[in-house]
Structure 1
Amino acid sequence: MLNYRSAGKVGAPTVVFLHGFLGSQQDWQDITEQLKNDFHCISIDLPGHGDNQQQLAEQVLPTPGFKRCAELITATLTTLNVHRYHLVGYSLGGRIALHIAKLYPEQLLSLVLESCHPGLQSQADKIARKQNDAAWADKLSTMPISEFLTLWYQQAVFSDLTPVEQNALVTKRSSNNPFALANCYQATSLAEQDDLWDIPGQLDIKVHFIAGHQDSKFMALANRWQQQQSIMLHTIEASGHNVHLAAPKQFAIKLQQLFAVKIDNSNN
C-alpha cells in the first residue's frame, strides 16, 4: 500500500486527493478539514514522496511509470474497500489521475484536474521535454536538495509565489529523499506520458479543470482543451499554479459545489 491519510465520515462519498511533484498527502490538509463533515477524504502519498520514501525499494517505478502509479493507488484504495470515488489531482497528481480515468473509468464519480497537462502531442515537443527533464533529474541527483528546490521554485510557472512563499516551500520540501524523487520524476515525465486529450470524451462522468487566474499558461491550455472536449473550466482568483495552496477556502467551496453538496454559510 501507499501511505495515506483519511479524514471525515466513512460511508460518506469518498474524495481521493493526489498531490503534485515534491508534495505529500499533507498538502491537502486545509482542504480536507473543510470537507470532512460531508465526505470521506483520502489523501495519498505518490511513490517516492512523503512517507513512501521509506519503501523506495518496493516502489521503484519503471519508465514510463504512470500505469504502475495508477495500479498502486487503485490497490491502496481497494485495500481500504473504496471502489467508487471523486478523484482530485494537482499537476503531476492530475496527470496520474488522467491515467487512472483511462484504466479504471468505472471507479470514478467525477474527475477534478488542477493545473494539469493532458499530454504532449508532437514528437519534437516530447524530445525537448525529455532533455529538459533529464537536466532537472541530474540536478536533483547531484545538488544539495535545498539548492535544487531554490532553482525549482524560480521557474516561470511559480512566478505568483512571493520570495517568502518560495523560501517556505524550500524549507518544507528539504527533507525529501532526492533519489526517490528523481525516480518518480523521470518515470512520470511529461515526455513519457500518454496523449490523454481525448479521455474526457470517453468518460460518463463530469470532468472539471480548476486553474488559477494568474496561471496564464494553464489557463490557455484549459481553454484550448475545453474547446475540444466536454470539460468544465473553473477559475479561482488570487491564485497561480497551485490553487489549493494559494486559496484553500475557495478551492474547498468549489469542490463542494462540484460534488453537489449543500454549503452551510451560517458561520461565515
Structure 2
Amino acid sequence: MATIEILGVPHAYELTAPTSYPHTLVFVHGWLNSRGYWQPVISRLSGDFQCLSYDLRGFGQSQPNKYTDFIHQGVSFELSSIQRSDFANPFESLYTPAAYAQDLTALLEQLNITSAWLVGHSLGGTIALWGTAQKPERIRGVICINSGGGIYLKEAFEQFRLAGQRFLQIRPRWLSQVPLIDLLFSRASVVRPLERYWARQRIVDFINADPEAALGTLLDSTTEDEINRLPQLVAQLKQPIYFIAGAQDKVMEPKYVRHLASFHPLFQYSGNNVIEIPGCGHLAMLEKPDAVADHIRSIVFKHSEIKVGD
C-alpha cells in the first residue's frame, strides 16, 4: 500500500506493475467498501493490465484529517451541507459523486496516468461516469458493476435514506466482537454467503468509515437531482460504457441497470453493453470474480488494437 495526498486528504492506493497494454485499469469501490474488494479481480487481470485501486475519501484507509479545511478546486465547502436534501450544483458538497470524481481525476494526474479504463462498483460506477465527463481525454471507457438507476422513486428513496441513516447509527467499535456478527455480514446483499474473511472485512470497513463521509455519500448520491442527472450523464459520454449486473441483485436490480445503459448510444445500436451474471447479487467482484475478470478482459481487448499475447 502507498499513500498520496489529494486535495488535502491522504489517499491509500495500490498500483500493480506496468504491462505491454498501454491503458491502466482503475477500480473505484462502492459505499462502505474499500479497495481490497477488488483484489480477487485484480489478481486475475494484473498479468495483462496495470491495475490501480484506491480508497475513496473517508473510507478504508483514506481517512481525512479532521483539522484540515477541505477545498475542492478553490471552493470551500461546509460539512453542514450534507443536511441538504437537493443540490442544484453537483459540486456544492464534499460528498457528491462529482466531488469524488474530482479526487479520482486528481489521483490520475498525480500518478501520471494519462489513459485509463474506469471500473466502478455501485456508487463507484457513478463516480467513474462523472470522472469520465470531467476528464474525457484521459478515459478510454467505463465498466459499471452493480451500478445503474436514473429513475427517482420518491417514497422508495426516502425509505432507503432513512434505513441507511439508522444503519450508520449502530457502529460501536465493539461490534466486531459480537459472536457470529460476521455471519450476518457474509449474507447481506449476496446470493450465497461470502467467505468469512470478506465478512470480517465488511465489518471493519463499516465501523471505520468516516461518519461524515458515510452519511454524506448516502444523502448526496440519492437526491432527486442526482438521480435524474444520471441518464443525461450517460447520454453525453462518447467513450464505450458497459454495465455488468448481478442477475439476482436486490440492491440494484438488472432492470434499473438496463434502464441507465439504454441512454448510451452504444446500446441503441447494438444492445450488447449490458451483461448479466447468473447467480450473482450486489457484490459481483467477490461473488463471481472469474466471471467479472473475464468480462472486463473481453470488453477492454474488444476496444483495443492490442490482443492477448502480442
Q: Calculate the TM-score normalised by the size of structure 1.
A: 0.82
Give the Cα separation in 1 of the matches to 2:32 and 2:14.
17
Mean Cα deviation higher: 23-32 or 118-127 = 118-127
Q: For 1:113-142, what per-residue CA distance to the aligned partner results, in whole angstroms no more than 9, with x for missing partners?
A: 0011344525444433332322222223x5
Deviation of 1:45 (Å): 0.8
DSSP 3-state at the match of 2:243 = strand
Aligned with residue 24 of structure 1, among 34, 55, 61: 34
Give the partner amino acid of 1:258. Answer: I
**Alpha-carbon spacing, 1:51–1:201, altered in 2? closer, same or farther (3 Å):** same
Matched, 1:85 2:116: yes
Aligned with residue 186 of structure 1, among 209, 212, 215: 215
Aligned with residue 198 of structure 1, among 228, 232, 236: 232
**Alpha-carbon spacing, 1:191–1:57, altered in 2? closer, same or farther (3 Å):** farther
1:114 counterpart residue number: 145
Q: Retained in 1: the 8 A contact 2:150–2:259?
A: no
Deviation of 1:203 (Å): 0.8
Q: For 1:59-115, what per-residue CA distance to the aligned partner results, in whole angstroms no more than 9, with x for missing partners?
A: 979434123311222212111001321000011211222222333333211011001
Give the partner amino acid of 1:17. Answer: F
Mean Cα deviation higher: 201-210 or 69-78 = 69-78
- The share of aligned pairs that are identical, in percent, is 23
| Pairing 1:28-177 to 2, within 5 Å after superposition | 28-53=38-63, 55=65, 58=68, 62=79, 63=82, 64=93, 65-66=95-96, 67-140=98-171, 144-146=174-176, 155=188, 158-162=189-193, 165=194, 167-176=196-205
Q: Calculate the TM-score normalised by the size of structure 2.
A: 0.72
**Over aligned residue pairs, what C-alpha RMSD do you find?**
3.0
Matched, 1:5 2:14: yes
**Alpha-carbon spacing, 1:59–1:144, altered in 2? closer, same or farther (3 Å):** farther
Give the Cα separation in 2 of the matches to 1:115 and 1:210.
6
Larger radius of gyration: 2
Give the Cα separation in 1 of the matches to 2:246 and 2:206.
29
Give the partner amino acid of 2:122. Answer: S
Give the partner amino acid of 1:212. Answer: G
DSSP 3-state at the match of 1:3 = strand
DSSP 3-state at the match of 2:62 = helix
Deviation of 1:27 (Å): 1.6
2:257 counterpart residue number: 222
Give the Cα separation in 1 of the matches to 2:160 and 2:203.
25
Give the partner amino acid of 2:132. Answer: A
DSSP 3-state at the match of 1:88 = strand
Deviation of 1:185 (Å): 2.2
Deviation of 1:9 (Å): 1.0
Give the partner amino acid of 1:134. Answer: Q
Give the Cα separation in 1 of the matches to 2:227 and 2:260.
16
Structure 1 gaps, min length 5: none
Deviation of 1:255 (Å): 0.8
Give the Cα separation in 1 of the matches to 2:60 and 2:43.
19
Deviation of 1:55 (Å): 4.8
Q: Retained in 2: the 8 A contact 1:120–1:191?
A: no
**Alpha-carbon spacing, 1:23–1:122, altered in 2? closer, same or farther (3 Å):** closer
Q: Retained in 1: the 8 A contact 2:150–2:256?
A: no
If each structure's helix is expressed as a fraction of its own residues, which one has the higher value?
1
Structure 2 gaps, min length 5: 6-10, 71-76, 83-92, 268-272
Give the Cα separation in 1 of the matches to 2:116 and 2:168.
33
Q: Retained in 1: the 8 A contact 2:24–2:117?
A: yes
Give the Cα separation in 2 of the matches to 1:59 and 1:14.
31
